[in-house]
Structures are given as C-alpha cells and as structure tokens.
Amino acid sequence: MSDSQIHSTVDLGAAPGVHKGHLAIPYSHNLGGWANLLVPFGMLRNGAGPTVLLMAGNHGDEYPGQVAILRLWRELTAEDVSGTLLLLPTLSQPAAKAATRLSPLDGKNFNRCFPGNPTGTPSEMLAHYLSTVLFPMADIVIDLHTGGRSMNFLPCAHMHLVPDHAQREKMIIATEAFLTDVTFLYTDVAGTGLLPAEAERQGKTVITTELGGGEPVFAEIHKITQRGLKNVLRHCGVLQGAVEQRKAPARWVQSLSRDDYNFAPESGLWEAAVDVGGDVRKGDDLGYIHFLENPSRAPLVVTANEDGVVVANRAPSLVGQGDCVAVLAHDTDPRKLP
C-alpha cells in the first residue's frame, strides 16, 4: 500500500477500455493555494497480456519520445492492445514547457529522484508514486530519453548490465527489438537515484533509449523513435501486430568504465573532432577546447582512451569545466559479460 498523496483520475482497477486523465500532484504556489500539478496519464486495457508502463519527458528537454507517446495516446484504441498499456507522455511537463532538463518548479533532476519521497517536492512525490504504485503493477518499464539540449547521442536503445542474468537476457532481447543500429551498455557516472535503476531493482524488464539530442530534432530521429517504440511494444506483446525482425544484428557497444566518459578539464569552446557514430583508435583526437579569452593558448585536446565509437558529443559549443564532452564506447557482447 502506497502512502502517496498523488491522486490518479484514472482508476487503475478499471474495466477494459481507454481511460485518460491525470496524476494530480499536490503543489502550492503563490497564486495557487490548493493547486495540483497535473501529469497526463492514460491507460488502455484489453484482455490478457502484460502490463507495460511507457514514459517519456523524464528530462523535459527530450522530445522525440514525448511526440511518439502523444501519437499513441491519440491513435490507439483498446482493441489494439493485449493486456494493459500505461502512458505517461511527459513526466516533467513544467520542464518540457521550459525546454529544460531540470524541473523549474523544484530544481530537481527527475532522473535522480528515485525511489522518491511521498512528502517531498513534486518531482520526488511523482518518483515515489512510480516506485510504489506503477512499477509494482508493470512487467515492462520503458523510459524514452535523448541527450537533451546538452548532448547529442547516436540514436540507440540502451541498458544497464543488470546482475540478474535472466532479467538481463530479457532486457537484451527487448533492447535489440528497438531496431537501432547500435545498442549500448552504459553505467551511471553522474549520480544515483535513476528511474531505470529503481525499476531494475524491482526486477522489471527495463527498456531505455538515447535518441539523438541537441536542439534540432531531425525527421529521421522521429522515425527511428516511432518505429522502434511500436516494435518494442509488439515484441512485449502489449501491442498487436507482427514484430519486425532486424535486418542486421545489433552492434553492441559498452561504456562501462568511467574513463569512457570525457569531462572538460577547463571551460572554453568545444570543437568536436569526430561526429557521433564515428570510429576512432586509441589516442585519436575526440575534440578540442579553445580559449576565447586567450587566443594564443593552444587548445586542450581530448583523446580516445581506447579504440571505439563516439556515441555522444557535447551539443552546445560553450563548455564549462566538468561538463561531459564526449562518450566513447567499445564493441562488446552483452551475453558474454559476467
């Protein structure tokens, strides 16, 4: 039993059909004493099948997944579904409206708020509701990300290397069903309290992505997102229709060492030397940091720690000390890892 203060206008025990409403998070502000922050929440239910929790907008400024779920919200009927499909198109709507990563309401990074707090800030309360109400209901948890405004990612489905091998195998197969050319094993180098980590801890099959990033979202990224998402939902059995098979095996890569994540030693102007998807050899230049106030100073060179492929680059040219500028990944086989 959850001690959440969040009210769902969708009855989670409702009969089969389409149910659309909100999660209402108590939130007072100066012109709203008894106000609620409303998070759009939908449920499609039809007969036997898995329960799939589908989310985007964990970080507000990551839009392709939000667009894809908004489409499903309007397009799907209950008859398209087998089981229960829970839709949260925009977890952090104040951040999405502000085009920010962090919530402007409470300054929180939603993806560092888990398992949450029933009496915390709006972000912490929503994280707690997910952890204690929606994750326990779900067999499969899908959280669609991009690099946001700060990073440009090679479009990829990705996952943690969870310790439980049965859970890991389910996640590997589901990650491959997203149909991206590259599939990516990542580790948490920037804090704890992530949504997928809590869902994994609860034993769920967790499917996550990094679908581009930076300010522009090209049509190709939307296509990759929407095609992959529908295929994953079919693979899970919650969306009816034939599962599209991969034309080529997934290229699995990993960034499991902290050294794969390159952080700017100094502030300056970032110049990428390799675009995402580019292969490099150990010692190759990944990029340069120039110094606006000191044109005579040679740029600082960021180099590859090993052979690999660049999976993410810093998106804005301006870079601050400590910002991530490039992520290098290395070919791997997740089924052979301990």
Q: Where does this chain bind Ca ion (CB under 5 A)?
A: 59, 145
Alpha-helical (H) ranges within the chain are 64-75, 93-98, 122-129, 135-137, 165-176, 195-201, 219-236
Q: What angle do CA 258, 259, 262 make, to 5 degrees?
A: 100
Q: Which of 306, 233, 294 is nearest to 266 (CA)?
A: 294
Is-contact 294 228, C-beta < 8 A?
no
In the bound state with Ca ion, the residue whose beta carbon lies nearer, of 59 and 170, is: 59
Instruction: Compute the least distance from the CB of residue 210 to Ca ion, in Å.
Output: 7
Instruction: Round to the nearest angstrom and report the end-to-end CA distance of the chain.
Output: 36
Instruction: Compute the least distance from the CB of residue 141 to Ca ion, in Å.
Output: 15
In the bound state with Ca ion, the residue whose beta carbon lies nearer, of 139 and 198, is: 198
- Cα-Cα-Cα-Cα dihedral of 165, 211, 66, 126, to 10°? 50
In the bound state with Ca ion, the residue whose beta carbon lies nearer, of 145 and 314, is: 145
The three-state secondary structure class of 131 is helix
Determine the residue with CB nearest Ca ion: 145
In the bound state with Ca ion, the residue whose beta carbon lies nearer, of 62 and 139, is: 62
Distance, in Å, from the CA atom of 272 to the CA atom of 303, rounded to the nearest integer, reads 11
Asked whether the CA dihedral 250, 182, 63, 25 is positive or negative, the reply is positive
H helices, E strands: number in the chain: 7, 19
Instruction: Compute the least distance from the CB of residue 326 to Ca ion, in Å.
Output: 17
Cα separation values, 244 from 60, 125, 188, 230, 234, Å: 30, 38, 31, 10, 9
Q: Which of 100, 5, 1, 16 is nearest to 51 (CA)?
A: 16
Instruction: Compute the least distance from the CB of residue 174 to Ca ion, in Å.
Output: 19
Distance, in Å, from the CA atom of 175 to the CA atom of 143, rounded to the nearest integer, reads 12
Instruction: Compute the least distance from the CB of residue 211 to Ca ion, in Å.
Output: 10
Q: Which of 120, 119, 87 is nearest to 18 (CA)?
A: 87
Residues 6+ apart with CB under 8 A from 49: 81, 82, 83, 84, 237, 238
Instruction: Compute the least distance from the CB of residue 213 to Ca ion, in Å.
Output: 8
In the bound state with Ca ion, the residue whose beta carbon lies nearer, of 121 and 146, is: 146
Instruction: Compute the least distance from the CB of residue 85 to Ca ion, in Å.
Output: 22
Instruction: Compute the least distance from the CB of residue 84 to Ca ion, in Å.
Output: 26
In the bound state with Ca ion, the residue whose beta carbon lies nearer, of 145 and 168, is: 145
In the bound state with Ca ion, the residue whose beta carbon lies nearer, of 81 and 113, is: 113
In the bound state with Ca ion, the residue whose beta carbon lies nearer, of 59 and 204, is: 59
